[in-house]
Amino acid sequence: MINLEQVDSRERLWSKDFLIVFGVNFLLFLCFYLLVVIMSSYAKNEFHASTGMAGLASSIFVVGALIGRLIGGSIIERVGRKKLLFTGLIAFSVLIGLYFIVNSLSVLLIVRFFHGMAFALASTATGTIAASLIPNSRRGEGTGYYGVSIIIASAIGPFIGLMINEHASMTANFTLCAVLGVLSLLSAFFMNIPKLMLTAEQKKDLQGLKLSNFIEPKALPISLVSFVMGFGYSSILTYLMIFAGQISLAQVASYFFIVYAIVVILSRPFTGRWFDQRGANVVMYPAILSFAIGMVLLSQAHHGPTLLLSAVFVGLGYGTTQSSAQALAIKRSPAHRIGLATSTFYIFVDVGIGFGPFILGFLTPLVGFRGMYIAMAILLAAGIVLYHFLVGKTEKDGNDGHAVVQSSTI
């Protein structure tokens, strides 16, 4: 028989535990995307909410998630990754059950807020656990593959959610999410979660209400870059379908995220290995440029092929920058603070995506959607300069990250 470890001398990535944490994270994000696309219309139809309050019913989840990330990142290594994961998953599943008995808009807002917190606690734990399971020599590749769990969820979640809402009812959507929540919780029981033994000095470092125990300083530079990337991507998430409707390409635009997901999945094996073997700069500079090109193409789209071609460049751009940036945030941070580094990264991405549409809502009436996407292309071009001075100038070639706690390989 052929010994696969002799064929591939690299450290093992696809362990049982990595596959399980991949699946748990996928289920979490699938539930998130199932609900986010229909929550505003649900609030409007069920509780006669105004447009602003209906939007709040969707976005308040992100506010809760931001607070959950701050809390989760600051306590994960003190309370333990396993405890935080199960706390988040149990709360996430219980709160899904509360959707069935919501009887007013105010109660819905409260449930959405705490659901966002639970989601953040669980996903911060899964991200930290995944980071501890990825061999250091395959940091970029492993982080990229882990990110595919979110990409797949973002591609199929809105489609399934809208389809159920159109042909069934919100109760059916809540039922599916409840099943997904319980399934994610049950799956976690089969995972061996690596324990990090903290020294007395490390425990002291993580104590207190200082800012560095909520935001990891070493992850801050690349997280700021990710904020810019997330801000740019929010213009697509929020306004693509409206823009496509105006230019009579709504039907074509429905395939945008499918093309995006396919490109990301196909490119991950290559971009991740380049990150590990040649360094982050080889990946990040072209990826940010590709994202900017995608925005320019989108701004000039008059026909379907141009719109879908922009999805290719956005996939190569945003899809690559986010996985590589997360890998950089973890690589640059001390081993006992990778949970904090993970939450710091997600906080800045969430702020960019969550608050971007609000700011762009003031810009769009002034310059139109085409002008807005051109503005986003200019912002992303500035992001290249920002990356260079914050990260690129000091980034070394190849893998130079710290060792992390890993499970044994077979």
- The pLDDT-based confidence of 6 (bands split at 50, 70, 90) is very low
pLDDT digits 0-9 by tens, 136-192: 778 778 888 888 888 888 778 877 887 887 788 888 999 999 999 999 999 999 998
The pLDDT tens digits for 66-118 are 899 888 887 887 788 899 999 999 999 999 999 999 999 999 999 999 999 99
Q: Report the chain's C-alpha Rg in angstroms.
A: 21
- Helix/strand/coil (H/E/C) assignment for every residue in 257-308: HHHHHHHHHHHHHHHHHHHHHHCHHHHHHHHHHHHHHHHHHHHCCCCHHHHH
**Token digits for 154?**
């973002």
| Amino acid, single-letter form, for residue 78 | R
Q: Kindly write down the DSSP assignment for every residue of 73-108, as one continuous string.
A: HHHHHHH-HHHHHHHHHHHHHHHHHHGGG--SHHHH
* CA distances from residue 325 to 140, 316, 344 in whole angstroms, order as listed: 9, 14, 11
Please state the rounded mean pLDDT for residues 334-358.
Answer: 83
Q: Which carries the bigger pLDDT value, residue 40 or residue 174?
A: 174
pLDDT of residue 35: 87
Q: Is the pLDDT of residue 201 over 60?
A: yes
The contacts of residue 186 (CB under 8 Å, 6+ apart) are none
Q: Are 226 and 349 in contact (CB under 8 A)?
A: yes
pLDDT given for residue 74 in this prediction: 77
Q: 357-408, pLDDT tens digit by residue?
A: 778 888 888 999 999 999 999 999 999 999 999 998 887 755 544 433 333 2
For the cut 70, the answer to whether the pLDDT of residue 206 exceeds it is no
Q: Would you state the pLDDT for residue 30?
A: 93
pLDDT at position 29: 92
DSSP state of 136: G
pLDDT at 403: 36
Each residue of 275-332: pLDDT tens digit? Answer: 888 888 999 999 999 999 999 999 999 999 999 999 999 999 998 998 889 889 888 8
Distances (CA, A) of 397 to 10, 340, 394: 19, 25, 10
Percentage of the chain exceeding pLDDT 90:
39
**CB proximity list for 120: less than 8 A, separation 6 or greater:** 64, 65, 66, 67, 68, 69, 71, 72, 88, 343, 346
Q: Summarize pLDDT for 225-259 with one digit per residue, the tens.
A: 999 999 999 888 878 878 888 899 888 887 888 89
The tokens describing 370, both together, are 């085409």
pLDDT reading at 38 higher than 80: no
Q: Which residues are within 8 A (CB) of 353 and not within 5 positions of it... i.e. 6 or more apart? A: 62, 230, 231, 233, 234, 237
Q: What is the DSSP letter of 332?
A: T
**If we measure between CA atoms, which residue out of 168, 170, 140 comes closest to residue 39?**
170
Confidence at residue 164, expressed as pLDDT on a 0 to 100 scale: 84
Whether the pLDDT of residue 5 is over 60: the answer is no
In this predicted structure, what is the pLDDT of residue 117? 94
